[in-house]
Amino acid sequence: MSASLAPECNEVKERYDNCFLKWYSEKFLRGAATTDECEPLFKQYEKCLSKVLKERGIDKMVKEAREDNRENDAEHMRPKR
Partner 1 sequence: MVKFYSSKDTYSYPFPAVTLAYFLRYPNPYSTHVLSTDTISRYFDPETQRLTTVRLHLKRSKLPSAVVKLLPRSLLGASASGESQTYILEKSVVDINEGWMDSECQNLEFTGVLSVIERQVFRRPVPHVSDEAKLFQGMEGAARRHGFLNFGGSGAGAKVGVDLNGETTDVESSVTLHSHVGETWRKKRQAAQEGTFSSSDEEQPQKMGFLRSWGTATLQRNIEKIGLTRTLRSQPNAREGMKVVLERMREGGLVGVLEGMRKDREAILQGHDLFKKNGGPHAKDD
User: By the criterion CB under 8 A, which residues form the site for partner 1?
Assistant: 1-6, 9, 13, 16-17, 20-22, 24-26, 28-31, 33-36, 42, 45-46, 49, 53, 58, 61-62, 65-66, 69, 73, 76-81
Whole-number minimum distance, CB 36 to partner 1, in Å?
4
Number of C-beta neighbours around residue 45 at 10 A: 22
DSSP string for 34-57: SS-TTHHHHHHHHHHHHHHHHHTT
Whole-number minimum distance, CB 5 to partner 1, in Å?
4
